[in-house]
Structure 1
Amino acid sequence: MPHEHPADRTSLDLYEPINVLKPVARDLWIVDGPRIGFGVGPLEFPFSTRMTVLRLGNGDLILHSPVALTPALRSAIELLGPVRFLVAPNSLHYWWLPDWKAVMPNAEVLAVRGLQKRAKRSIAVDRLLVGRGSPWPAEVDLLVVRGDALTEAVLFHRASQTLILTDLIENFEPKRIHSWFLRLLVRLAGAADPDGKAPIDMRLSFFRRRGALRLAVQQMLAWQPERIIIAHGRWYEKDGTAELRRAFRCVVTIIVQAATP
């Protein structure tokens, strides 16, 4: 179960400043948020958080994986346009979404299948994200990647050539983690910068569905992203397609082998 620790800097350096809009490209921003912890007691693992803000052609805003709500952040976002969509891209990235919904009741909540059953907070979902049925087909592509323990909705913002992920790639910077034990766990999980990827437990989640994962990676590569925004750790401001190939190199190797006559 997640636990918020907004003022705790002892275990993990955050991407300061937090809770402010940071421009990425035209009509695209990120917001680095507070630390959130998963687990219980000494086994709790700290995660940095990150929200992506997209502005559609009609001015409507999408908040992807919302971070903690603050009055100043809310005001700054509302200056960009009306918030119409709140996106929970997987069953782990929803914790602060009900807070945003409470102050923006007209915003539509979009989520992957199964979120309401697994969520530790009450959350009302207006529309499910399934398959490739993007709610914004002219501007943002959707790809839902299903696993046994985790299903993730991937977005691709065409105008900026930006791929938006949450946990399919995690890229923790060891220098930002103060505990040697947690640094060791990150490395063992395979989620340490500069070779960040999905941690081992999530990779196992896709073992029985590796064919579907292979097709999903093939689609993401076909989009040829220039950058990749992720929720945890250092995101990729350039060389997005190359980083995607690196992070999914085992899958990419299979794709290449299958395509070789």
Structure 2
Amino acid sequence: MSGRPAFDPYTPLMVLKPFADDIWTMDGPEIRMNWLGLKIPFTTRMTLVRLPDGGIWVHSPTGQDGMVMDAVESLGPVRHLVAPNSIHYWWLPQWHARFPDARVHGVAGLSQKAKRHLPPLEVLRATAPTGWAGTIDQVIVPGDVVTEADFFHRPSRTLILTDLIENFEPQRIRSRVLRFLMRLTGAVDPDGQAPIDLRATFWRHRASVRAAVEQMIEWEPDHIILAHGRCYDKDGVGELRRSFRWVL
């Protein structure tokens, strides 16, 4: 891939965008991930939730810009930094350095898998910790390569996913080659899913994945926030049934 941006960005970048009551998203810089010797570009998105005590819950903290951290802190004191899977963790050290009193949460095994030193992590389990229990529910989706924690904000009926659905919009992908590759993976709008190579890594765990998806459906979300691509602002249950038909 060239150094030219691969996507038309979700501008403005690094700006708080209200999504629902007490929820904001922030679209971050394009990053590039190693895949079969290629540098595959991805858009990035951070999600912020204001908890009933006024504290801020930060999902997949993005970037290390001080002005971004100032903007997040303007919402309230940062109390929780969440690495939702074994890929989305890179900026945790910078965020923890800025907010040393925040609790840092990650999936099991992340400290051992991470390619950089991370602050001590509280392991995410199937039951929400005291910091957000009753406001945000969660479920763990285990996999051979990626284990992901997914979250449901009860007051706004918003599901927050990371890589289990990717929904890249073809019209935002500038390269025909990349657009073709993304279509092959099955991770493009309007039929976004987990990329086919990622789906394969969950094969041995499909019973657990199915149970997790059934829990998400039982929550009956109205909205779904995604880390990559277009989010869903309606019919959350229908989108879940469509996107996870490979395991249901």
Global fold match (TM > 0.5): yes
Range class of TM-score, shorter chain: over 0.9
Unaligned runs of 5+ in 1: 253-261
- The equivalent of 1:51 in structure 2 is 46
- Could you give the per-residue CA deviations for residues 138-191 of structure 1, whole angstroms, max 9, x where no partner exists? 111010110111100001000000000000000011111112221111111110
Query: Would you say how many aligned residue pairs link Structure 1 and Structure 2?
Result: 246
Residue 208 of structure 2: aligned partner: 212
Task: State the TM-score, normalizing by the size of structure 1.
Answer: 0.90
Q: State the alpha-carbon separation in 2 of the partners of residues 113 and 31 from structure 1.
A: 26
Q: Structure 1 stretches (4+) deviating beyond 6 angstroms?
A: none
2:59–2:81 CA contact under 8 A, matched in 1: yes
Aligned AA (1:190): G
One-letter amino acid of the structure 2 residue matched with residue 76 of structure 1: A
Letter in 1 for 2:39: E
- Show the counterpart of 1:244: 240
Distance (Å, rounded) in 1 between the aligned partners of 2:6 and 2:134 = 42
Alignment of 1:176-215 (within 5 A): 176-215=172-211
Q: 1:29 to 1:211 in 2, by over 3 A?
A: same
Give the conservation status (yes or no) of the 8 Å contact 2:96–2:119: no
Structure 2 gap ranges (5+): none
Distance in 1 (CA, whole Å) between partners of 2:239 and 2:211 is: 17
List aligned pairs for 1:1-261, cutoff 5 A.
Answer: 10-39=5-34, 43-135=38-130, 136-252=132-248
Greater share of helix: 1
Give the RMSD, CA atoms, in angstroms.
1.7
Letter in 2 for 1:204: A
CA displacement at 1:40 relative to structure 2: 7.3
Quick one: percent identity of the two aligned structures?
Answer: 53
- TM-score, normalization by structure 2: 0.95
For 2:75 and 2:81, the matched residues in 1 are separated by 15
Query: Given that residues 128 and 136 in structure 2 are in contact (C-alpha distance below 8 angstroms), is that contact kept between their aligned partners in structure 1?
Result: no
Aligned to 1:259: none
In 2, the alpha carbon distance for the partners of 1:71 and 1:190 equals: 36
Alpha-carbon shift at residue 126 of structure 1 (Å): 3.0
Q: Cα–Cα, structure 1 residues 201 and 41, in superposed 2: closer, same or farther, change >3 Å?
A: closer
* Inter-partner Cα distance in structure 2 for 1:113 and 1:249: 26
CA distance in 2, matches of 1:76, 1:214: 38
Amino acid aligned to 1:100: W
1:250 deviates by 3.2
- After the TM superposition, which of the residue ranges 215-224 and 125-134 deviates more from structure 2? 125-134
